């Protein structure tokens, strides 16, 4: 939240929290911590959400406004005008990585502050081809495949044939090609093929999905790295040119490219690999003048070769594990950086203490292909104690709506070692009682008891390889 006076003062601003649920509460908590007034929004379907109750209890007379949709930019700007907001935090999802929205926020007659990187940076880093070229220019390895989005089916098929040939020449046992929506993110718009004869039908499906979901038919063709770990590096950059990394997170327990469990640090990453990946992440962020919190994602193969994947220009769902291990409040840092202040610490001040694990608690039916399970929560008992954190927005009697993401909370534990963190997570998952809606708690318990997870010997194929333990 830039202030053009000589001394930036956070308290001079009011933040519009342009999101819902647990991330909205998380942003409001950070505002309270720093003494910043806030305004939250809600829809008719969300009127009983925990973030609404939190805003009503902890905010002032301008803390809560109703909108018809979280996706309506006009309404959000109207609420900002009415409530006197001078800054906007998008959280994750919705408008968080929409450069057009960020541009609109900061280009208004009464300029607001978008709490995140500039709209130009969001646009530049949201283009997977641009970021791939940027990574290559810095000597950061990238996955073989497209150098630009393709909109032509024959051209796409020719690239796929080249990638298949590359894999065969390098004696890759199971050649696979990924077909990805260029404008996609969060694991959406990705499919794979193992036979060139299947390519056209899958390509058309991804292209049509991309057109509907992202209003852009551009498609990327890449080699599918098998048996890889999904590792991401958290970074912070400020307006003074400072960039720091906050180590890595292991995000390889996934189902359909959606993360279920995250850890910090990774049991797979060696100190040498950590140094290479974090240095690459800092170099990428510095090259573009990145400001705010961001995450750079890498694929790491079984031989610990790493490849740049993409950059997320927002706070991540899994940010709490980094906070628990480093002691840094990432959302508060976002707010300070937006005010024009420098990052509140230096790289050499950071150390990793202990180990943190996060489980995403979702209202879904694990026996019915993980279908969302909306309904009324009849009873909930949340675990607590030393090293236990819960980021959630639900309560007994709350009706989970069908309109939004089925994630109802995040259960995070910290302990002095990975072994003890797993033990603690086992215990608190058994203590976590939730009735009235189907949920994935028992499924998460099973993961904690699976030998590959316990030993730290897992990759993104974990779910498929361990079906016998996850019944």
Question: Among all residues, which ones are annotated catalytic?
Answer: 314
The number of beta carbons lying within 10 Å of the beta carbon of residue 307 is 20
Alpha helices in 188-345 (DSSP H): 199-214, 271-288, 319-326, 330-338
Calculated CA dihedral for residues 381, 434, 92, 57, nearest 10 degrees: -40
Give CB contacts under 8 A, 24+ apart, made by 160-165.
Answer: 160/193, 160/196, 160/199, 160/203, 160/221, 161/196, 163/221, 163/222, 163/223, 164/196
Specify whether the CB–CB gap between 65 and 82 falls below 8 A: yes
Specify whether the CB–CB gap between 269 and 355 falls below 8 A: no
Backbone angles phi, psi at 292, to 5 degrees: 115, -170
* Residue 10 DSSP one-character state: G
Burial class of 82 by CB neighbour count within 10 A (0 to 12, 13 to 18, 19+): exposed
* Run of H or E residues at 306: strand 306-312
Going from the C-alpha of 240 to that of each of 89, 337, 343, 404, the distances in angstroms are 21, 9, 9, 38
Specify whether the CB–CB gap between 106 and 118 falls below 8 A: yes
* Run of H or E residues at 246: strand 243-255
198 CB-near residues (< 8 Å, 6+ apart): none
Specify whether the CB–CB gap between 181 and 246 falls below 8 A: no
């Amino acid at each position: 939240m830039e202030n053009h006076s000589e001394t930036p003062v956070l308290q001079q601003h009011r933040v519009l929290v342009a999101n819902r649920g647990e991330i909205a509460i998380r942003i409001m908590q950070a505002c309270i911590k720093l003494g910043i007034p806030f305004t939250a929004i809600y829809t008719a379907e969300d009127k009983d959400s925990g973030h609404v109750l939190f805003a009503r209890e902890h905010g002032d007379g301008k803390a809560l406004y109703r909108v018809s949709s979280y996706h309506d930019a006009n309404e959000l700007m109207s609420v900002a005008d009415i409530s006197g907001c001078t800054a906007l935090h998008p959280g994750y999802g919705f408008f968080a990585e929409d450069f057009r929205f960020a541009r609109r926020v900061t280009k208004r007659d009464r300029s607001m502050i978008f709490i995140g990187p500039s709209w130009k940076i969001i646009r530049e880093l949201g283009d997977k081809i641009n970021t791939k070229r940027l990574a290559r220019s810095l000597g950061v390895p990238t996955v073989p495949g497209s150098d630009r989005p393709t909109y032509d089916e024959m051209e796409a098929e020719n690239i796929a044939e080249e990638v298949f040939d590359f894999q065969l020449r390098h004696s890759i046992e199971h050649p696979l090609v990924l077909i990805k929506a260029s404008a996609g993110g969060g694991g959406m718009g990705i499919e794979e093929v193992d036979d060139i004869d299947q390519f056209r039908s899958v390509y058309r499906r991804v292209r049509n999905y991309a057109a509907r979901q992202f209003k852009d038919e551009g498609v990327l063709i890449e080699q599918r790295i098998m048996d890889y770990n999904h590792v991401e590096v958290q970074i912070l950059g400020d307006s003074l040119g400072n960039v720091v990394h906050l180590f890595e997170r292991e995000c390889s327990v996934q189902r359909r490219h959606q993360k279920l469990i995250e850890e910090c640090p990774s049991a797979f990453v060696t100190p040498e690999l950590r140094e290479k990946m974090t240095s690459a992440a800092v170099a990428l962020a510095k090259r573009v003048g990145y400001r705010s919190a961001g995450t750079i994602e890498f694929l790491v193969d079984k031989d610990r070769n790493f490849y740049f994947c993409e950059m997320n220009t927002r706070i991540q769902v899994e940010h709490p594990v980094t906070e628990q291990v480093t002691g840094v409040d990432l959302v508060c840092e976002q707010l300070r950086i937006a005010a024009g202040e420098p990052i509140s610490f230096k790289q050499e001040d950071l150390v990793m203490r202990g180990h943190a694990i996060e489980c995403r608690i979702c209202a879904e039916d694990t026996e019915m292909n993980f279908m969302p399970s909306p309904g009324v929560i009849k009873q909930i008992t949340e675990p607590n104690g030393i090293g236990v954190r819960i980021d959630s927005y639900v309560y007994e009697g709350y009706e989970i709506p069908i309109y939004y993401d089925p994630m109802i909370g995040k259960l995070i534990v910290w302990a002095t070692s990975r072994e003890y963190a797993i033990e603690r997570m086992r215990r608190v998952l058994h203590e976590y009682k939730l009735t009235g809606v189907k949920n994935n708690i028992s499924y998460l318990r099973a993961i904690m008891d699976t030998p590959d997870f316990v030993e730290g010997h897992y990759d993104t194929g974990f779910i498929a390889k361990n079906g016998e333990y996850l019944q």
